[in-house]
Structure 1
Amino acid sequence: MVPRLPRPSAPSAPSTPTASGRRAARATGTAAALIAVAMALTGCFGSTPDGGELGDGDFADDGCTSVVVATSSEKVNMLDALADAFKESPQHEQLDECATVRPINVSSGDATRFLTAGGDWPDDDARRWPTMWSPASTVWTDRVAAAASPSLVGEPESFTHTPVVFGVPETMAKALGWPDTEIGIADFEALCQDPQGWASVGKPLWGSFKISKTNPNTSTTGLSAILMQSYEASGKTSDLTAADVAAAAEFSRVFEECVIHYGDTTGKVLTRLYDETQNGAGGSGYVSAVALEETSLLNYNQGNPDSHTVQPGETLTPPKEKLVAVYPSGGSMWSDNPITVLGADWVTDVQATAGAAFAAFLQTDAAQEILPDYGFRPLDAAAPLGELFTTEYGVDPAGPAVTLPKPAVDVVSAAIDQWTQIRKPSSVLEVIDISGSMDEAIGDGRSKLDGAIEGAQSTLGHFRSSDEVGVWAFTTGVESQAGKNIVVLRDVEPLASDRESIDASLDDLRFAHRDGTPLYDAIAAAYDEMIARAEPGRINAIVLLSDGQDTDSSISLDSLVARIGASAREGGDEAPVRIFPIAYGEGADTAALQRIAEATGGQWFDASDAAKIDLVFASVINNF
């Protein structure tokens, strides 16, 4: 069943807030929270899972009160339909003036950081500042209430829910005994720990067992997954404590070893898997199991892997092999999807009243009947789920058998802190284009190179001292031990306490020689360097930034893709090196960078707005 198409809308602009006194909780913002915001602004300004920007759409005045709802991407289509239905509801009729509800895409973790940091909502256009917030889980509203102020998040109330599951390609799931055999997180952990990988269940050609998870700092699914791991290790189905989380450290560390790379959304991983499936390849070469919400799995199986906003006239093509939902035998967390009117200074009384009316409408039968059409479950477990919730679409309407309750705020914090320490280690080489075009201005008093330097510098706080970090730059007319046209600012080695020296080395690039763009040669040299030193048990990666097209390489794009693609296939399963290109500025060759990323199982990122490169860097770095 294809989801209902969203309506074209034109919500009105709220009155522009004053420049001061935005939030009562501002004084409680901490320095750590401000740093976290700087690292996680991609929900507002970088590429979203559907390839758009926050607030894309028509915000022209339609004569009605504008009620903007900040929500995660998978709910945008559904909230759009609910907004239509709200216009015809008794709740809307009771308002003194009409209201237009407009959902915009902001990840739950990013919105949490914006709200706890204090100050204005980080968007230059005040028309897009939210009246309401609908994160995927009340875990996030609880964190804002604890870190900032309970009044800021108002009174969140769940209006729909969806369980966190593991999506497994159907052929692989059957090899594990699905659907007749219960499968738990401990079974996945055993496959991770077994050096034979898939061979331990009679499938030697499938290689190692690979898991995809999102970063728990920005993703509800990633956060739920680490809590489910602690539940599994403790043997509990309720009353999880911080001590339980601490005791689960080794179990979770082994589980994390199977992770191919992290990310800020499941959409990017699912899109990669979908593309492989449609091109005739199975999923075994890329990923074996994806931690995701049931609704995202339903979207994938309909042909919408990134849960983007379906446009009028768009046709969805289901994947050649569907994912099936494995509901872990030890239990699943649920994303309970609250909605609340924000107690922020920019929310007017009229907007708050309209928002409260919309929240009340979401609890009605008329609203609840719409939810299953979009892959979400109504609050009433006895309500009919409709034709999407069937084995045809990979789900079990009776699952999960065990529900794991949301732990206390201190337990959630302990789990996130633990993940920071036990997550899979990284070995990352950042490769920066310093060709002549990098001198171009980006409109905010900086050059492209300034933005690239500051973006790279902002990532350093993400890495642990034990993570390996290297930095290269490339242009014509330079040379180093790494080869012609390459400058080595730092060899790939443990970061230790070198953050300040790397900062200084990056600053030195402002005065570097700048000439041509030997893009493909630089990638080939970097890939050879990383393949030679890649180790199993690490995320081995290249982060590449280029603002233009190749002009000076001795190797062609086709030859480069064939070379790195062959290396990735031949013996690269245990220690793959993935490339994460950032297409920087309007002149970047996005098609070429996308091919390079896909050849290695990496992802490419769109930074066509060069002024926001530091924010795109933050999105990229969530993979490590």
Structure 2
Amino acid sequence: MECGSRSAASGAGGRKSAVRRPLVFGVALSIASSGLGACSDAPSGPCRTVVVAVAVGVAAPLRTAAARFQGTKVDGRCVSVRIEPRSPASVAETLAGTVEEPGAPPPDAWIPDSWLWVPLARSGSTGAAAVASVEPSLASSPIVWVLSASTARKFSAQGMKASWRSLMPGGIPDPRQRTDADAPRFVVPEPATSTTGMGPLLALHTLAGTGQRGLLNFATAMLALRTMTVKDPVAVHAAVGDTGRTTIGVASEQSLLENEAVGERSLVPVYPAEGTVVLDYPYVRVTHDRSQGKAADAFGRFLREPATRELLTDAGFRTPEGQAGSALDPKLGFTPAPPRRIQLPDSPTAVKIRDMWNRMRLGARLLDVLDVSPSMRQPVPGTSTSRLTALSRQIQQSLQLTPDFVEIGLWQFATRLDGTRDHREAVPIRAMGSVDNGVSQRDRLISAVARSKPIPGTYTGLYDTILAGFREVSRNYRPEVFNVVTVFTDGEESDPYNGMKLDELIRTLRQEYDPARPVSIIIGAYGDDIDTRPLQQIVNVTGGKVYLSKDPQQAQRIFGDLLVRMLCTGTQCPIT
């Protein structure tokens, strides 16, 4: 079959809503997939096939566009475009050379749902060379909150407005802290693989503030968001449509419209008051081949022609400038005017945010070491509460909020608690969400901390315990996660049983600390007259930190810093 002209390949593609009439794209798909209009017998030789990897949501209208483009000649040779729906995350990692997609053809062009994936694609040497140019946006779709129609009416009657600030500390409570069955939950698609899931993180970054306080706000919000993730946008729609629970979801406008078009559920969009993140669908050429690149560029120009752009607006996308087509009907809750956009961070900062999230997903391995020597019986100034009781309450509160995937264990220490050893294992290190004999690790830790009491007749065997804890975490070191020993004490070394001396501890730590397998030591010291100089010498060996406080109730400072350190350090952090 010879190459047809573009108009012949276009067929009778009038203005029809892609979402309201999904069979239009089904026909186009069968045409494109079957090779109808292929040019293997054309005088100029076989058609050149251009592979375009596209975000799944935009694949249907682009297949119709590819069918219309079929037969276009570039340098005298006809071009056939094959649309390959693929995850932007997987394409970016493949282009960067960090992963392989077996069976997936290398693309000549790429249309991710956001430019945010381009820096990831360029992060490897192969990607830096392949991602030659990024053309302007082809379409846009703002990220919206998705509610059931009944929930939206209830919120409106109560004067409630959608706000990203509700995801900041003190906003929507962690679901584990709520007991009422009707407490709203928030669900987002996994940010590591979904730009829609990254949207809340980018919005929160703009609202978190600056400096250490802003970084802690952002890290705390990220920690809470980790408990709200679901697999993908389909799971978001399913969760919001669950009539048994009040649920708020996050999705793109276009995916919501597509979901409603197939009659799945009655859901409505709500636009956040501060503005939102917008998916922008850039056209990216990613081939080294000059001829393939020219053909890919020709298809990119074709996609910007008015008639082709109508395919996208009819499918529920907006123009790059944010103008809505007729598919985004106000009667369905959509706002025709361009929604306010949140100012996105620059490319390096966006990469740091993604890296923070990936480290959050990996978790951490912590050994908490709690002082139970007699001095912990002393009351907190101005109260009748002992230091150990006040500290225990703070630790329990922190444990309640720790994600299931973080591994934590508990030691108690004084002197000679286990034979000649100054420490004893109260709870071995396990993932917080693990269950042993019907009891979760979280509950086991909280119970052990609550039962901790000062032990009469003992002393503070601090140095031997620090070294033993360091060796325990080092021996079971987990690559790629934050490995740390956290010591809570109110005293100084006072072991009368030939305990380790400071210079011996420092020398041993220097010999055993491995920068390739770093284990940090963090010390929370509570009391009025503690000499922190020896403690500072200890933590300096491992890149740790000493926190000095007169009040054990300020232990939350340590937990906040641990959270930040688990996610980023120094220039790796997206907030400074």
Into which bin does the TM-score normalised by the smaller protein fall?
0.5 to 0.7
Matching residue's letter, 1:294: E
**Greater Cα radius of gyration, structure 1 or 2:** 2
Partner residue in 1 for 2:112? 135
**1:416 maps to which residue?**
354
Change (3 A) 1:253 1:424: farther
User: AA paired with 1:410?
Assistant: P
d(CA) in 1 for partners of 2:442, 2:300:
51
Query: Separation in 1 of the partners of 2:130 and 2:191?
Result: 22
Among residues 173, 176, 180, which one is paired with 2:152 in the alignment? 173
- Measured after TM superposition, the shift of residue 130 of structure 1 is 1.3
Aligned ranges 1:435-454 → 2 under 5 Å: none
The farther-off stretch of 243-252 and 353-362 is 243-252
Matched, 1:106 2:50: no
Structure 2 CA distance, aligned partners of 1:289 and 1:530?
Answer: 35
Distance between the aligned counterparts of 1:365 and 1:179, measured in 2? Answer: 43
Aligned length: 359
* Residue-by-residue CA offset, 1:347-380 (whole Å, 9 max, x unaligned): x443322211110111111111111121111124
Instruction: Note if contact 1:192-1:257 (Cα within 8 Å) is conserved in structure 2.
Output: no
Q: Aligned residue for 1:533?
A: 440
Please give the alpha-carbon distance, in whole angstroms, between the structure 1 residues aligned to 2:350 and 2:120.
9
Report the TM-score when normalising by structure 1. Answer: 0.50
Q: Which amino acid aligns with 2:308?
A: A
When the two chains are superposed, the root-mean-square deviation of aligned CA atoms in Å is 4.0
Given candidates 297, 308, 311, the residue that maps to 2:256 is: 297
d(CA) in 2 for partners of 1:178 and 1:117? 52
The answer for the alignment partner of 1:75 in structure 2 is 58
**2:203 maps to what in 1?**
228
CA-to-partner distance for each residue in 1:592-611, whole Å, 9 max, x for gaps?
xxxxxxxxxxxxxxxxxxxx
Structure 2 residue aligned with 1:47: none
Q: What are the Cα deviations for residues 37-61 of structure 1, in whole angstroms up to 9, with x where unaligned?
A: xxxxxxxxxxxxxxxxxxxx66797
C-alpha distance after superposition, 1:268-293 (max 9, x if no partner):
3324555x4xxxx3452xxx122221
Corresponding residue for 1:154? 132
Structure 1 residues 270-289: aligned runs within 5 Å: 270-271=237-238, 273-274=240-241, 276=242, 281-284=243-246, 288-289=247-248
Match of 1:392 among 331, 336, 343: 331
Instruction: Give 1:414's aligned amino acid.
Output: K
Give the Å deviation of 1:116: 1.0
Give yes or no for the alignment of 1:336 onto 2:280.
yes
* Residues 1:145 and 1:169: Cα distance change in structure 2 (over 3 Å): same
Paired residue for 1:360? 301
CA contact (8 A) 2:145 2:251 kept: yes
C-alpha deviation, 1:421, in angstroms:
5.2
Q: Which SS does the other structure have where 1:221 is aligned?
A: helix
Equivalence for 1:2:
21
Q: 2:216 aligns with which of 245, 249, 252?
A: 249
Inter-partner Cα distance in structure 1 for 2:350 and 2:204? 12
Instruction: Point out where structure 2 has 5 or more consecutive residues left out of the alignment.
Output: 1-19, 41-46, 366-402, 410-426, 444-576
Report % sequence identity.
20
Q: Check whether the contact 1:256–1:423 (CA below 8 A) recurs between aligned residues.
A: no
Unaligned stretches of 5+ residues in structure 1 = 12-56, 235-242, 304-316, 428-462, 470-490, 497-525, 537-624
Query: Where does 1:507-526 land on structure 2 (aligned, <5 Å)?
Result: none
* Structure 1 position 467, deviation (Å): 3.9
1:366-412 C-alpha deviation (Å, 9 max, x unpaired): 11111112111112445x611x2123333212252x21233222211
Residues 405 and 59 of structure 1: CA distance in aligned 2, closer, same or farther (over 3 Å): farther
Opposite residue 299 of structure 1, the aligned amino acid is E
Counterpart residue type for residue 134 of structure 1? I
In the TM superposition, residue 83 of structure 1 has moved relative to its aligned partner by 1.1
| Other-structure match for 2:172 | 192
Amino acid of the residue matched to residue 224 of structure 1? G
SS in 2 for 1:419: helix
Question: Aligned to 1:369, what secondary structure does the other structure show?
Answer: helix
Question: Judging changes above 3 Å, is the alpha-carbon distance between structure 1 residues 197 and 325 closer, same or farther for their aligned structure 2 residues?
Answer: farther
When normalised by structure 2's length, the TM-score is 0.54
Residues 1:375 and 2:316 are matched in the alignment:
yes
Which one-letter code corresponds to 2:83 in the other structure? P
AA aligned opposite 1:110: S
CA drift at 1:194: 7.8
Question: Which letter maps to 2:80?
Answer: T
Q: Is the 8 A contact 2:88 2:117 kept in 1?
A: yes
1:246/1:194 CA distance change after superposition, 3 Å: closer
Q: Supply the distance in 2 between the matched residues of 1:143 and 1:181 (Cα, whole angstroms).
A: 37
